[in-house]
Amino acid sequence: MEIHEALYTTRMMRRLRPDPVPLDVQARILDAAVRAPNGGNTQRWHFVAVDDPQLIHEFGELFREARGLEYEKFRTGQGPMVVPGPGADLTAHAETMRRIKGSGNYLADHFDEVPLLLFVFSIDDLGGANIYPAIWSALLAARAEGVGGVMTMVLNNFRDKVNEMLGVPVEEGWKMSAMLTLGYPLGKWGVAANRRPVHEVSSRNGWGKPFGVEVPQPLWPTPEPADLAAAG
């Protein structure tokens, strides 16, 4: 797959088919992930693949409960999902949240059908910086295989329980950084177009100064000359 296709279309896919993800595909996903940059090349990461239906069922129960807690935080104006970045359109954010909730409900309701969970653990992930390159590489590599999924954090509400269920050696310093649900998507991949354009979120030679070029449309797959307009 051409790299730009992967970069532009690796959307979070919450509606998955139950078909298993073959082991060789899983190997290619993780083999790409471990090539990711990481501080000092210390590679303090560990991936736990879960495909046991009973365990997936148990994580589903936990996931629904954790999600309930997150949406309760959201309802009371707390948590990371409440406010978009300064200057963002609040109506658009509300619509995004409505959509995420809709597809999230589907995932929660069909959790037992998810063929593969990938728990990502790290030691001292530097606020995520030391592990997200590997997670994103895994998602891009999965995309190249036609496998989709979503990175979730909600199980952090039940860290201890997850550690116990997976037998994580917490005394060595391991902490869950994310849990990915993975499988072959029911829907079609499309460009992540619901993003604020580059010129609204970038500056040059000082915060808030014009970046110098306007990008009103995604530049992939077929940029028109008018899509990349030099700002006057």
Ligand X SMILES: Cc1cc2nc3c(=O)[nH]c(=O)nc-3n(C[C@H](O)[C@H](O)[C@H](O)COP(=O)(O)O)c2cc1C
Q: Contact positions toward ligand X, by CB under 6 A?
A: 11-12, 14, 100, 104, 150-154, 192, 194
Distance in Å, CB of 134 to ligand X, minimum: 13
Distance in Å, CB of 55 to ligand X, minimum: 19
- Can you tell me whether residue 107 is helix, strand or coil? helix
Specify the residue, 98 or 207, whose C-beta has the smaller distance to ligand X. Answer: 98
Residue recorded with tokens 């604020």: 196
Among 180, 155, 176, 159, which residue's Cα sits nearest to residue 70? Answer: 155
Distance in Å, CB of 105 to ligand X, minimum: 10
Specify the residue, 38 or 152, whose C-beta has the smaller distance to ligand X. Answer: 152
- Can you tell me whether residue 71 is helix, strand or coil? helix
Specify the residue, 192 or 229, whose C-beta has the smaller distance to ligand X. Answer: 192
CA distance 124 to 198: 32
- Can you tell me whether residue 124 is helix, strand or coil? coil
CA distance 63 to 65: 5
Distance in Å, CB of 166 to ligand X, minimum: 18
Specify the residue, 11 or 174, whose C-beta has the smaller distance to ligand X. Answer: 11
Specify the residue, 72 or 172, whose C-beta has the smaller distance to ligand X. Answer: 72
Specify the residue, 11 or 143, whose C-beta has the smaller distance to ligand X. Answer: 11
Distance in Å, CB of 18 to ligand X, minimum: 19
Q: How far is CA 12 from the centre of its chain?
A: 6
Amino acid (1-letter code) at residue 59: F
Residues 6+ apart with CB under 8 A from 142: 29, 148, 149, 182
| Angle of helix 23-33 versus helix 132-144 axis, rounded to 10 | 140
